[in-house]
Amino acid sequence: MPAVTETREAVEKLGQSTYKWGFETDIQMDLAPKGLNEDIVRLISARKNEPEWLLEWRLTAFRKWQSMKEPTWAKVSYPPIDYQDAHYYAAPRKKEGPKSLDEVDPELLKTYEKLGIPLHEQALLAGVELPEGETARPPVAVDAVFDSVSVVTTFRKTLEEAGVIFCPISEAVQEHPELVRKYLGSVVPVADNFYAALNSAVFTDGSFVYVPKGVRCPMELSTYFRINARNTGQFERTLIVVEDGASVSYLEGCTAPMRDENQLHAAVVELVAMEDASIKYSTVQNWYPGDSEGRGGIYNFVTKRGACRGARSKISWTQVETGSAITWKYPSCILQGDGSVGEFYSVAVTNNCQQADTGTKMIHIGRNTRSTIIAKTISAGRSDSTYRGLVRVQPKASGARNFTQCDSLLIGDECGAHTVPYIESRNMAARIEHEATTSKISEDQLFYCRQRGLSEEDAVGLIVNGFCRDVLKELPMEFAVEAQKLLQISLEGSVG
Amino acid sequence: MSQFLEISGLCARIDADGQEKQILRGVDLTIPPGEVHAIMGPNGCGKSTLSYVLAGREDYEVTAGSVTFKGQDLLAMEPEERAAAGLFLAFQSPIELPGVNNANFLRTAVNAVRRARGLEELDAVAFLKMAREAAKSLSMAPDMLKRNVNVGFSGGEKKRNEVLQMTLLQPSFAILDETDSGLDVDALRIVAEGVNRLRSPDFSALVITHHQKLLDYLVPDRIHVMAKGRIILSGGPELAKKIDQEGYTKFLAEAA
């Protein structure tokens, strides 16, 4: 199994440091002063040359946020966050002018190169010589977001020819204001929750995708988020709108330097799928998780929601969550259109002192709506992981069906795994199934593998990947290999 | 020069529910290269413990004695190092690995062992060809390579899968722990043929069994009777027939 071999090699390469993405890029930054008030919100809006309506939208969000309280119902604990002690705007300093790869700071390009993110269209298109046995990577269009700002978006020409818009959301505000205004906040309202309101007030960038009627997006779209600056929060906003009969597959990856202090990441992702449209949204979340004693790491408080507005539309969330000190995240589907489909496939790994409270919400509104939830939770070290999910069937959702499966795998005896399913059905004709299991990697399994010649690390990797198979097979091929590696790296040292 | 496998004065115990339980009480056994030996004995005499200790299971604590395997101190090696050195254990109850594809598992194992032995790794095509042939020779359904390791396998299928793994890993010393239990006559013959095919001057085996039947097909060079954690009697193939006819009690009484 090449993936396992690769995993082993990846682990070997790591040597002492377990988080290989933990480097810092030395680059000149534009920083807003620390703290959060109306002036900062105005400053962000001004820096972005935003129209009046968007500034008002931000200010509404900010005022609502001031009256809101941080949610406390999740099974996570952390010291109080001082929201005045962070920078809310950090951007790599750059010259004026249109964006092209040549004008991007070479330091930035190097950063993404180090991260293995392909930003050079040429190299990809020219089909650089590949080692024997390797097939060419299909091209992926990338929007690279560095701290608060999108630095480059590749393959825009190819996409434009197909009619697909893929650009930083700050640019979409300028170029396609009617689309942004129509859909922004239409799935996640400004005051939806504490973190969403905060994001609405101060979001600085993110990706915007628009796929017109009947178009199948010709390539995978991908956004790569990188937090670099110290004491900054990252608040990106992603909006994806897919019209009738169109489809798109979107990937999201993220990393951050290793730092002793905690950093806040509060993103909002909104998806809109019209009639017969389909959106596949995949995430490999690998923010810095903190060290083995729980120092540092990202607080990942994210709101992701998709609306299946049209009949027979489909939204599929797949996530592999290995990073962050704390994860608070519930990618959800609002199944409005008759016969619409929502899917949630999740692998959440926690090790050392990480805490994760993650799951989904499936809201069945239309008739014959269907949802599937497969959640795999792996806990190791002293970590704590919770699956929290809601399945709600509204009175008119006749024929609604849900299937939920939650499996937890424990490694060692100091970790915790919890499953908290909420099921609310207001329609007698709905069918809801829930299955849950908890298991441990047994000594028998490890010994069996080792007797066959596998090292302990390889054995754990094999067993964990087997446990997650139902989810990993939902990921696009490239991401699946990446995810398998990550799983093993995240669990390194957790056995024995 | 030491023998191929030499066990001397081996004592081992297990911590069962907080109580130390001595199971092996001085096992002496020598197996020369190219020979198949059988161990028989009543339930609880330590046969399976011996196989686990040889394979390196950590639950057992070796309290005395030594084991040399091809001149190396076997007890100092990790389980995977023993596998790489050529030791294979066919489990009495093969373990299930949910979600792990059988062919992938086999290939990962084969390549891990090949790497450790300084051989080139097999690519997917070469491996599958080899695995399919081996499976066919054991009358295994082709889809067993695609299924998850031992998950949903019948007792007989699990045992055949063990022999398949043994065939592919090419050990120089195999321990078969009651591989015949739960097999019907046809399956028994197929499994025995699988082992016989491996027989060569470079392959030795230790067969743990309760029944004469398997030994009819395998024909061991030596038979050892184990009781209360020791080998109490050794002899030629005729010993098995005697035990089959007269039972263990008489031998145990004589040994005591």
Looking up residue B221, the CATH number of its domain turns out to be 3.40.50.300
Instruction: Measure A470 CA to nearest chain B CA, in Å.
Output: 8
Give yes or no for A135 touching B (CB within 8 A): no
Q: How far is CA A317 from CA A73, A486, B16, B177, in A?
A: 23, 19, 46, 47
Of the candidates A450, A456, A466, the beta carbon closest to that of B100 is on: A466
Give yes or no for A28 touching B (CB within 8 A): no
Q: Would you say residue B164 lies in a domain?
A: no
Whether residue B80 and residue A445 make contact (CB cut-off 8 A), yes or no, is: no
Q: Give residue-wise pLDDT tens across range A165-180.
A: 998 898 999 999 999 9
Q: Which domain holds residue B228?
A: 5-95+172-255
**What percentage of chain B exceeds 90 in pLDDT?**
64
Give yes or no for A452 touching B (CB within 8 A): yes
pLDDT of residue A88: 84
Q: Give residue-wise pLDDT tens across range B46-61.
A: 999 999 999 999 889 9
Summarize the confidence of residues B147-153 as an average pLDDT.
Answer: 93
Number of domains in chain B: 1
Summarize the confidence of residues A277-300 as an average pLDDT.
Answer: 85
pLDDT of residue A192: 93
Write out chain A residues lying below 8 Å of B124, CB-based: 2
Least CA distance to B151: which residue of chain A? A466
Instruction: Measure A9 CA to nearest chain B CA, in Å.
Output: 13
Q: Residue A261, exposed/middle/buried by CB under 10 A (0-12, 13-18, 19+)?
A: exposed
Of the candidates A133, A453, A462, the beta carbon closest to that of B116 is on: A453
Give yes or no for A455 touching B (CB within 8 A): yes
Taking alpha carbons only, the member of B209, B134, B177 closest to residue A451 is: B177
Higher-confidence residue of A470 and A451: namely: A451
Q: Give residue-wise pLDDT tens across range B201-236.
A: 999 999 998 878 888 888 899 999 999 999 999 999
Taking alpha carbons only, the member of A116, A9, A131 closest to residue B111 is: A9
Of the candidates A2, A450, A470, the beta carbon closest to that of B79 is on: A450
Q: Would you say residue B90 lies in a domain?
A: yes
Instruction: Measure B98 CA to nearest chain A CA, in Å.
Output: 6
Write out chain A residues lying below 8 Å of B95, CB-based: 442, 444-445, 447-448
Indicate if the pLDDT at residue A495 is higher than 90.
no
Give yes or no for A454 touching B (CB within 8 A): yes
Give yes or no for B126 touching A (CB within 8 A): no
Indicate if the pLDDT at residue A151 is higher than 80.
no
The whole-chain average pLDDT of chain A stands at 82
Under the banding of pLDDT at 50, 70 and 90, the label for residue A494 is low
Q: Would you say residue B16 lies in a domain?
A: yes
Q: Give residue-wise pLDDT tens across range A383-417.
A: 889 999 999 999 999 999 999 999 998 888 888 88
Of A92-101, A167-176, A246-255, which range is least confident? A92-101
pLDDT of residue A15: 32
**What percentage of chain A exceeds 70 in pLDDT?**
78
Q: Give residue-wise pLDDT tens across range A425-460.
A: 999 999 999 999 888 888 899 999 999 999 988 898
Give yes or no for A138 touching B (CB within 8 A): no
The DSSP element (H or E) to which B127 belongs, if any, is helix B124-137
Write out chain A residues lying below 8 Å of B58, CB-based: 443, 447
Summarize the confidence of residues B95-115 as an average pLDDT.
Answer: 93
Give yes or no for A405 touching B (CB within 8 A): no
**What percentage of chain B exceeds 70 in pLDDT?**
98
Domain residue ranges of chain A, discontinuous segments joined by +: 2-79+90-128+139-490
Both structure tokens of A78: 């952390």
What residue ranges in A276-429 does DSSP mark as E strands? 278-285, 297-308, 314-321, 326-329, 332-335, 341-350, 355-364, 370-379, 384-393, 401-410, 416-425
* Distance in angstroms (rounded) separating the CA atoms of residues A223 and A93: 20
Under the banding of pLDDT at 50, 70 and 90, the label for residue A120 is low
Least CA distance to A452: which residue of chain B? B109
Q: Would you say residue B49 lies in a domain?
A: yes
Whether residue B99 and residue A443 make contact (CB cut-off 8 A), yes or no, is: no
Instruction: Measure B111 CA to nearest chain A CA, in Å.
Output: 9
Give yes or no for A473 touching B (CB within 8 A): no
Higher-confidence residue of A30 and B197: namely: B197
Q: Would you say residue B162 lies in a domain?
A: no
Of A172-176, A491-495, B66-70, which range is least confident? A491-495
What residue ranges in chain B does DSSP mark as E strands? 5-16, 19-31, 36-40, 60-69, 72-73, 87-90, 97-101, 148-149, 173-177, 204-208, 222-227, 230-235
Q: Would you say residue B65 lies in a domain?
A: yes
Both structure tokens of A333: 């589907």
Under the banding of pLDDT at 50, 70 and 90, the label for residue B150 is very high
Q: Would you say residue B199 lies in a domain?
A: yes
Indicate if the pLDDT at residue B1 is higher than 80.
no
pLDDT of residue A13: 41
Under the banding of pLDDT at 50, 70 and 90, the label for residue A21 is low
The whole-chain average pLDDT of chain B stands at 90
Indicate if the pLDDT at residue A7 is higher than 60.
no
Do the strands B173-177 and B148-149 form a parallel or antiparallel pair, or are they unpaired?
unpaired
Q: Would you say residue B136 lies in a domain?
A: no
* Distance in angstroms (rounded) separating the CA atoms of residues A159 and A166: 7
Whether residue A465 and residue B100 make contact (CB cut-off 8 A), yes or no, is: yes
Whether residue A453 and residue B105 make contact (CB cut-off 8 A), yes or no, is: no
Give yes or no for A33 touching B (CB within 8 A): no
The residue type found at B222 is R
Under the banding of pLDDT at 50, 70 and 90, the label for residue A247 is very high
